[in-house]
């Protein structure tokens, strides 16, 4: 494919995404039609809490909707205070957590379709039925050392083909924000060195004082 065509496709892709969302140490460009919902609507609920164990700390970071009513699609982003890596068991671990979340926290049966590792993230695809409506569910988890981010996209089945592509374009923009300062281990080592020098200087001062008084 020619460089010109690549530029054209890149431009078309960027038109389908909205402004970059920067939140809680990560950034992501959501689909253009999605807007931030009122977070107070979700306070006190367990929605979005896909975690390896029920007692793992987590919080809902952002909730976005592309409309109102039953036909609207939603995108929830949660921060989980636990390590998540792309190891051999990553797909099974996330799949199990998703099934448990919908069953125990939301009272819904999650019908698993498949789980894949795609471009540095784990995706779990399935569906749930809410009343008479069938909704496609795409859960995505990105790896992290001390915490990681989980996204849940919920789309009416009749709109899935319309939105599946732009959702994956959006997920491809995910980045963890990195600190511009020195690495944490350097800071700890420096503080330890300063503390050691301080203790040494105090010891020398006390010794000199004792010799003068002798």
Q: What is the pLDDT of residues 45-88, one digit of tens each?
A: 667 778 877 778 888 999 999 998 889 999 999 999 999 999 88
For the chain, what is the mean pLDDT?
82
Nearest 5°: the CA angle 129, 59, 161 is 35
Q: Which pTM was predicted?
A: 0.74
What is the distance, to the nearest Å, from the Cα of residue 59 to the centroid of all Cα atoms in its chain?
10
DSSP codes, 26-78 = EEE--BTT-EEPPGGGTTT--TT---SSTT--EEEEEEEESSSSTT--EEEEE
- Look at residue 13 and tell me whether its pLDDT is greater than 50: no
> What letter does residue 144 receive in the DSSP assignment?
B
Residue 145 is classified by DSSP as: S
What local confidence, expressed as pLDDT, does residue 69 receive?
85
Name the one residue in this structure whose structure tokens are 């253009």.
Answer: 32
Rounded Cα distance between 50 and 26, Å, is 18
In angstroms, the Cα distances linking 10 to 3, 22, 61, 165, 182 are 10, 22, 28, 14, 34
Domain positions in the chain are: 17-176, 183-214
Distance of alpha carbon 52 from the chain centroid: 14
Domain 17-176 has CATH 3.20.20.450: no
The DSSP code sequence of 82-135 is: S-B---TTHHHHHHHHHHHIIIIIS----EEEEEEEETTEEEEEEEEEETTEEE
Q: Which residue has the higher pLDDT, 117 or 47?
A: 117
pLDDT, position 132 = 87
From 101, 85, 112, 120, select the one nearest 50 (Cα to Cα).
101
Q: According to the model, what pLDDT value does residue 1 have?
A: 45
Element (H, E) at 147: none
Q: Is 72 exposed, middle or buried (0-12, 13-18, 19+ CB in 10 A)?
A: middle
Q: Between 16 and 209, name the one with better pLDDT.
A: 16
């Amino acid at each position: 494919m020619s460089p010109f065509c690549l530029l054209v496709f890149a431009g078309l892709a960027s038109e389908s995404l909205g402004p970059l969302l920067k939140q809680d140490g990560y950034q992501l460009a959501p689909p253009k039609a999605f807007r931030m919902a009122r977070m107070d609507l979700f306070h006190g609920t367990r929605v979005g809490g896909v975690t390896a164990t029920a007692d793992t700390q987590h919080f809902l970071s952002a909730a976005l909707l592309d409309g109102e009513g039953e036909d609207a699609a939603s995108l929830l982003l949660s921060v989980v205070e636990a390590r998540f890596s792309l190891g051999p068991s990553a797909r099974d671990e996330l799949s199990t957590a998703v099934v448990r979340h919908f069953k125990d926290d939301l009272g819904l049966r999650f019908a698993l379709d498949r789980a894949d590792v795609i471009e540095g993230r784990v995706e779990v695809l399935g569906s749930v039925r809410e009343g008479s409506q069938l909704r496609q569910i795409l859960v995505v988890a990105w790896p992290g050392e001390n915490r990681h981010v989980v996204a849940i996209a919920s789309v009416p089945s009749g709109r899935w083909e319309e939105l599946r592509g732009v959702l994956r374009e959006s997920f491809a923009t995910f980045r963890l924000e990195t600190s511009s300062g020195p690495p944490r281990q350097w800071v700890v080592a420096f503080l330890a060195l300063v503390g050691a020098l301080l203790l040494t200087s105090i010891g020398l001062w006390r010794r000199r004082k004792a010799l003068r008084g002798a």
